[in-house]
Amino acid sequence: MKKIIHFFSAVKLAIVLIILLVAASIMGTLIPQGRDMAEYAARYGRLGEPLVRLQFTNIFRSVWFLGLMAVFELNIIACTLTRLGAKVQRARKPKIESDPKDLASFKIKDRLRMSAGLDAAKERAVEALKEAHYRVRTAEEKAGNENKSGGRFNVFGRKRIDGIFGSDIVHLGLLVIIAGGILTGIGGFRAELILNPGETKDVPRAGFSVRLERFDTEMYPGGGVKDWKSTVTIVENGRDARKQVIEVNHPLVHKGFSLYQMAYGMNWDAATLTLRIARKAAAEGAAEKSGEASAGPKKEMKPETETRRPAAAQPAPDEPRIIKAKVGEVMPLGDADGTEILVRSFIPDFVLGENNVPESRSLEANNPAAYVEGRRGGKKVVEGWVFAAYPEVTRLKGDAAAEYAIEFRDLDAPQYSVLQAAKDPGVPLIWLGCLLIMAGLILAFYRPTWEIRMVLEAAGGAGRELGASGKTEITAGGVAAKSRDGLEAEFARIIAGLRSSK
């Protein structure tokens, strides 16, 4: 047991652990964390698999990192406790007597002779220390202790004893923070809530639900997002309990749960597309068609297309029409033929995936595309992809493709809000730990403990009566673990004061 305590209480162990933690942390920022196996295989080749297996790809949650932290924690506890006893002893019952020979080995030291009796000299020394705000204790060693030289006074002055506990308080703070982290890991809980305006969802485990009244994105006049705001109502037992706006940096806290504005997105399923559809004169259409046909033969360019055209050829070119449609909605175009327009599907970020199947690269509207169909009398006569960003790419097919010009003009989708619901029982401990660390640092750095020891002896050596010669020899020394130069100056001042006093 003793050996174990000895092992864990060594500062050298702390040094080694800190170096290991630093090395692990550096690796944790150089190796991308928490990606999938394929990415590591691509990045590191054959090293990928062992890296994943040794948890180098999830270092901060790895068994060995947590183990390192656990040893570090034991180390802090052992280091602090083994030194605390002596410190408390030093604070409560300091050794007042000093040996002049020891004082001679101090880095801050001096000797002087006062032309005053022992009692008077002692009073002046105590006075001088008290004036400099030292807490003074004295001890008398009576003459008559035959082996020793005459009577002797020990004066012990000390200030800011709380400073020696600074490091212990910092360590305690660290332990509290680690405990808070463990509590977060065990009892912490977070969940994402995706809410469309008007939607109500249960906050998991919280016993209440949240309804998104509205979600607003505020923009700066010059562009750029100013704020995301979710106006929410907390619903408890079917009743509206409170209404509040959640913004980034302004979470809502309710019954130990915090709701944060995390993200937002576009609800593309409910997108409204604005299409501009023009009917062209048949002749015009034919000209274009044939031009295209000569440019590059296409499958849909079958002779039948040409033969059918006369049917649609009578009306003059209609005025272009603007249609606002949702996906799956059939909208009448309002032309003479009774064309109906249907947006079959919508892709916010169009890309041709495997086997040339269209898919969305992201959920951002980087390349919005719609598959539009036109029907006449229940029969599909035109269809094709239209692109908002690249109108020139549009290629329509179908029997009457040549008669229609379809442009994808605009896009509007309701935004949904992503809230994070979190309950973290570790948080109060984290703040307590932070307070302790800061208090401890201030004590450790700005409350340096200073001690001044003095031994007063009647001058003249052995055999004399106490104070009989009227002269007193003072040996003094100062101890400061920190800010020694400060004590050095103060010590010199105090000694000089005693020297000049008569």
Residue ranges that bind another protein, judged by CB under 8 A: 11-12, 14-15, 18-19, 21-22, 25-26, 28-30, 33, 60, 167, 181, 190, 220, 222, 224-228, 247-251, 258, 260-262, 420, 422, 424, 427, 430-431, 434, 437-438, 441-442, 445, 481-482, 485
CA-angle at 250, arms to 249 and 252, nearest 5°? 140
**272 Rama class: left (phi>0) / alpha (psi -120 to 50) / beta:** beta
For the bound state, the minimum distance from the C-beta of residue 326 to another protein, rounded and expressed in Å, comes to 30
CA-based max dimension of the chain:
142
**Distance between CA atoms of 427 and 179, rounded to whole angstroms?**
10
For the bound state, the minimum distance from the C-beta of residue 223 to another protein, rounded and expressed in Å, comes to 9
Encode burial over 56-85: b for 16+ CB neighbours within 10 A, e otherwise. bbebeebeebeeebebbbbbbebbbeebee
- Listed in sequence order, the residues at least 6 apart from 109 whose beta carbon sits closer than 8 Å to its beta carbon are 103, 475, 476, 477, 478
- Cβ-based nearer residue to another protein, 24 or 468: 24
Three-class SS of residue 82?
helix
Query: Of 376, 186, 368, nearest to 275 (Cα)?
Result: 368
For the bound state, the minimum distance from the C-beta of residue 332 to another protein, rounded and expressed in Å, comes to 43
For the sheet containing 369-376, what is the strand order? 330-332, 340-347, 369-376, 379-387
Evaluate whether 197 touches 212 at the Cβ level (below 8 Å): yes
- Cβ-based nearer residue to another protein, 388 or 430: 430
For the bound state, the minimum distance from the C-beta of residue 111 to another protein, rounded and expressed in Å, comes to 24
For the bound state, the minimum distance from the C-beta of residue 364 to another protein, rounded and expressed in Å, comes to 17
**Distance between CA atoms of 356 and 275, rounded to whole angstroms?**
25
- Cβ-based nearer residue to another protein, 185 or 315: 185
- Cβ-based nearer residue to another protein, 74 or 286: 74
**Distance between CA atoms of 4 and 10, rounded to whole angstroms?**
10
For the bound state, the minimum distance from the C-beta of residue 59 to another protein, rounded and expressed in Å, comes to 8
- Cβ-based nearer residue to another protein, 181 or 265: 181
Quick one: which H or E segment has residue 428? helix 427-446
- Cβ-based nearer residue to another protein, 222 or 310: 222
Three-class SS of residue 458?
strand
Residue given tokens 């309710």 in the structure block: 254
The one-character DSSP state at 482 is: S
CA-angle at 445, arms to 480 and 495, nearest 5°? 30
- Cβ-based nearer residue to another protein, 172 or 273: 172
For the bound state, the minimum distance from the C-beta of residue 260 to another protein, rounded and expressed in Å, comes to 4
**Distance between CA atoms of 338 and 326, rounded to whole angstroms?**
19
- The full DSSP string for 132-197 is TT-EEEEEEE-TT-TTS-S-EEEEEEEE-GGGGGHHHHHHHHHHHHHHHHHHHHHH-EEEEEEE-T
- Cβ-based nearer residue to another protein, 427 or 479: 427
- Cβ-based nearer residue to another protein, 68 or 120: 68
Report the first-to-last Cα separation within the chain, whole angstroms: 59
- Cβ-based nearer residue to another protein, 31 or 301: 31
For the bound state, the minimum distance from the C-beta of residue 203 to another protein, rounded and expressed in Å, comes to 13
- Cβ-based nearer residue to another protein, 83 or 326: 83
For the bound state, the minimum distance from the C-beta of residue 199 to another protein, rounded and expressed in Å, comes to 21
For the bound state, the minimum distance from the C-beta of residue 424 to another protein, rounded and expressed in Å, comes to 7
Encode burial over 5-38: b for 16+ CB neighbours within 10 A, e otherwise. eeebbeeebbeebeeeeeebeeebeebeeeeeee
For the bound state, the minimum distance from the C-beta of residue 248 to another protein, rounded and expressed in Å, comes to 4
| Sheet strands (E) in 188-251 | 189-195, 200-203, 208-219, 225-236, 239-247
For the bound state, the minimum distance from the C-beta of residue 362 to another protein, rounded and expressed in Å, comes to 17
- Cβ-based nearer residue to another protein, 60 or 387: 60
